[in-house]
Each structure stands twice: as structure tokens, then as C-alpha cells.
Amino acid sequence: MNRDWIATARTLSHALPLLQRYDGATVVVKFGGHAMGDDAAMDSFARDIVLMQQVGVNPVIVHGGGPMINAMLEKLGIQSDFIDGKRVTDAATIEVVEMVLSGRVNKRIVQAINAQGGKAVGLSGKDANLMLCDQTDPELGFVGTPSKMDASVLHTLFDADTISVIAPLGAGSNGETYNINGDTAAGAIATALKADRLLLLTDVSGVKDRNGNIVSELTPEKIRQMTKDGVIAGGMIPKTETALKAIEGGVRGVVILDGRAPNACLLELYTEHGAGTLIRAH
């Protein structure tokens, strides 16, 4: 008998306790970075998500799209200004942001999941009042912070065996459209769903210690200490802040992992070793 077949059967058999652990679990996945730009990586990600649903998980995808937004703004000749690394989003920019996120990027992920035999539907935080926002900072224009969540539409889609793919846009109290940081949006949605896991797919392998080694598990106290000591710095700070807020809001665990690694979500959920850095209260 083919050795590969035997290995596949053994792998499935060993995975059973892990498959059972996540049966009925809600897992929110923040998808972004380089994994989005590559067709093969997109197909692989979509296949993993369909497999997760097939074995009893309720997956929810929240995506970004910064590089695609930049490319479209450049194409249209719209100048972008930044304050402390955050894009100032004026009326012209928010139109492009919504067009790219809710249009091209969202539908590409939906299509990839459907092509793998799943049933996905694209939404933004504006749909069914999923995410209502306050303006983050008047200087930044149409950049929002989620203030009120209504996840009932996501539960309806769970019941219909449908995978939600969500663009990080929200509505303001006067009908404005707000752009939301993708990690922040994913954290708010995971909190509203009291998710079992929030997976933040990034372009790094996880949180690193002072010597550059990946830390496999962290508590909120340890994160605060590492941030204070300057070990957690730069772009990792907003990700760990999202994780802390989600755990305070009732999410059971947050994992920061490398979305470029093949089958990253499956490695995290269905192997004893896991992937990246797991953050949980205890």
C-alpha cells in the first residue's frame, strides 16, 4: 500500500481528539498581509477554512487590504497623508477604501472559499448594523472605533452553514462610513461572538522574546511586562493590544501566527504543537 496513504490515515486518526476539541467552536480569523496577494496562498487558505467548517467549526473571516487600497489610490491620483503611521481618511479616500475592501478584496476571498466547496457570503460592518463606530480622531477623518456590535446576522449565517467574510468598515451615527483597522475589527467581532479563538494572521511567526525566539504562550500580565521592557515593540504592539482587549471581552484565546506558513490555521487548531503565540488569561 502507498506509504503516503498510510501516513494520511494515521494523521487523521491522531487528529481526532483535536477535531473533537473544536467541534461547535467559533473561530474568528483575521486574514491579511502577503497571504492575500498570492493566488496559491489564497486557495490554500480557503481550503483550510472550508475544512474547518466541515469538521464542526464556525469560521468567520475578517480581512484587511492596505496594499490594494494604496495601489488604487495611486492609480486614481489621490494623495494619502499619514499621522503616526495612520492613514488620514478624507471623503475621497473613504470612497476608494470601501470600493476596494467591500468590492474587489472581499469578493475575491468569497469566491476562493466557494471554489473550494464552501458557502461564503461577503459583508461589511455596515451590514445589519454589525459594527457601529465612533470617530477615532477628528484629525484622521473617517477612521472609526467600533462602539456598538450586533452579531445576530453572523449567528443567522452559522445556522445556514454559511461562512461570513467581513470587510472592516463600519457605520457612524449620522450614516457616515468609517474605515476600521483590520485587527481592531476582528477583535471586536470575536468579542461580540465570545469566540473560542481569534487567529491574527500576520507576516511574522509570533511574539518574540529578547533573544528573537518565538514565545509559544503568553498571559496578559507577561505581555504588559514585555511591552514595558520594550521587548514587544513597533507593529506588534497594536496586535497584542487587540489580543488583550479581546481576552478581557470574553474571547477564550488569541493566537498571533504567520499567515504565510502553509496551513497555518490547521497547524494551530489541529496539532498538539500549534503555531505562533497563544495568548490567554490563564
List domains and CATH numbers for the chain: 24-279 (3.40.1160.10)
Q: According to the model, what pLDDT value does residue 238 have? A: 87
Q: According to the model, what pLDDT value does residue 166 have? A: 98
Phi, psi (degrees; rounded to nearest 5) at 277: -115, 120
Q: According to the model, what pLDDT value does residue 11 have? A: 79
What gap in Å lies between CA 131 and CA 145, rounded to an integer?
A: 9
Q: According to the model, what pLDDT value does residue 31 have? A: 92
What gap in Å lies between CA 48 and CA 46, rounded to an integer?
A: 5
What gap in Å lies between CA 225 and CA 231, rounded to an integer?
A: 9
Q: According to the model, what pLDDT value does residue 34 have? A: 64
CB 141 within 8 A of CB 89: yes
| pTM of the full structure | 0.92
Residues of the chain with pLDDT under 50: none
